[in-house]
Amino acid sequence: MSYGLDFSECRFVTDHKGNRLRADIPYNMFSMLVEFRQAALRAQTEQIEKSVRPGTYKGSLGTLVDVSVTQQAAPQIARPTMQSQTAPLKSSRDRLEALFSVPLAVPVEDRDNSSCPAQDAAPQNTSPRSRRVYFPREFCAPIPVEVADAITNGTYFLRAWREYRKYKSADSAELTGLSIATIGWHEQGYNIPSKDTLERFANIYDCTLEQLIGISSPTRNKVDNKVVTHRAIKMAPTETDYPDTVLGHIVSGKSPVTAWRVFRGMTEKQLAERYGTSVSLLRQMTESQMLSDRTLDKLGVIFHCTRDQLRRPNGLVVEPHKVRPTAPKRLVNAVPPQSDAS
């Protein structure tokens, strides 16, 4: 769209490929384009000010008067040229520069503040991302000297432990199962890490949980004041039938898993291989009284018994101090004891 402009006198300078680099236009066309630009900016500003609350844009173009009025009201600024010292400038160049000159601020009339709505103060940024909220320097257990020196110099304690173990952020993220951004978030002290988070870091940094809990840490208070709630131990129903040998082992104080293992003639290593775990973990499972139904079902397949038969009978009172201890096993190559008759 030409908007009534005559481009016949315009000359375009192109490169060797024909791409236009610049345009040489007459001065009258340049003046019209400048006036178009000023009018467009003024119309855009007026449209924005009509759609917002009064006083939002105090320094906008809407408060300025027309360019011609500003030029008449503003004093002429003397320029360090030979012509400015002898006579006022009336050339086309002076008029062109006046279009781009910065107009003086127009004094604004004082308005009654009661008519304007009260503006609330800007809310302060209380986001935890902008400030450090937790930085312990004393811990419940002694820490290495290198870590303590780094913390004293201003390094956050989780980062001090990571640098002490020669880990990178990517290594810690891979070992803890977290992202690198989350590791960096925890190492800035912008939040208070929970007990589960500290246990993850203690596991990969080969330290105790007490070495990561500050003396005045809210995490420590939560751990100390936490009410331990034990789940109710599931017992077998009264009508559950046990083999006599298994029931005898349970009455003597053995766990149901151990009683069934002895009844089936299996060693701990054999049961661990059948279950798919290590011997140490199997011993922990054996002593535990809170085995899940899934674990009991898997053991029931191995022992050929039901889930209830792997629980203690309901109402059974175990008195191991009244049970007669079993005789010690004899060695194969042991020397038989000599009789007193000889």
Same domain? For 191 and 251 the reply is: no
The answer to whether position 274 is within a domain reads yes
CA 130 to chain centre: 14
Closest CA to 149 of 140, 166, 161, 141: 161
Quick one: 211 and 170 in the same domain? yes
The contacts found for 113-117 with CB under 8 angstroms, 24 or more apart, are: 116/54, 116/55, 117/53
255 in the same domain as 221: no
User: Do 203 and 252 have their domain in common?
Assistant: no
SS3 256: helix
In a domain, 78, yes or no: no
Residue 341 included in any domain? no
The whole domain housing 26 covers 1-70
Here the CATH number for the domain that contains residue 209 is: 1.10.260.40
Task: Characterize 136-150 residue by residue with b for buried, 16 or more Cβ atoms within 10 angstroms of its Cβ, and e for exposed.
Answer: beebbeebeeebbeb
Confidence (pLDDT) at 267: 92
Instruction: For the chain, 342 residues long, give each residue's pLDDT as a single digit of tens.
Output: 566 677 788 888 888 888 888 888 888 888 888 888 898 898 888 888 888 776 666 555 544 555 454 455 545 555 544 444 444 555 666 766 666 665 555 555 555 555 544 444 444 444 445 555 667 778 888 888 888 888 888 888 888 889 998 888 888 888 888 888 888 888 887 777 788 888 888 888 888 888 888 776 555 444 444 444 445 678 888 888 899 999 888 888 888 999 999 999 999 999 999 888 888 888 888 877 778 888 889 999 999 999 888 888 887 765 544 444 444 444 444 444 444 443
CA distances from 274 to 61, 271, 300, 305, 311 (A): 83, 5, 12, 15, 20
Please tell me whether residues 219 and 276 are part of one structural domain. no
What total of structural domains would you count in the chain?
3
249 and 162 together in one domain: no
DSSP conformational letter for 104: P
DSSP 158: H
Domain boundary, last residue among 158, 191, 225: 225
Q: What is the CA radius of gyration of the chain?
A: 44
112 found inside a domain:
no
Distance CA 342, CA 335 (A): 16
Q: Verify that 155 and 220 share a domain, yes or no.
A: yes
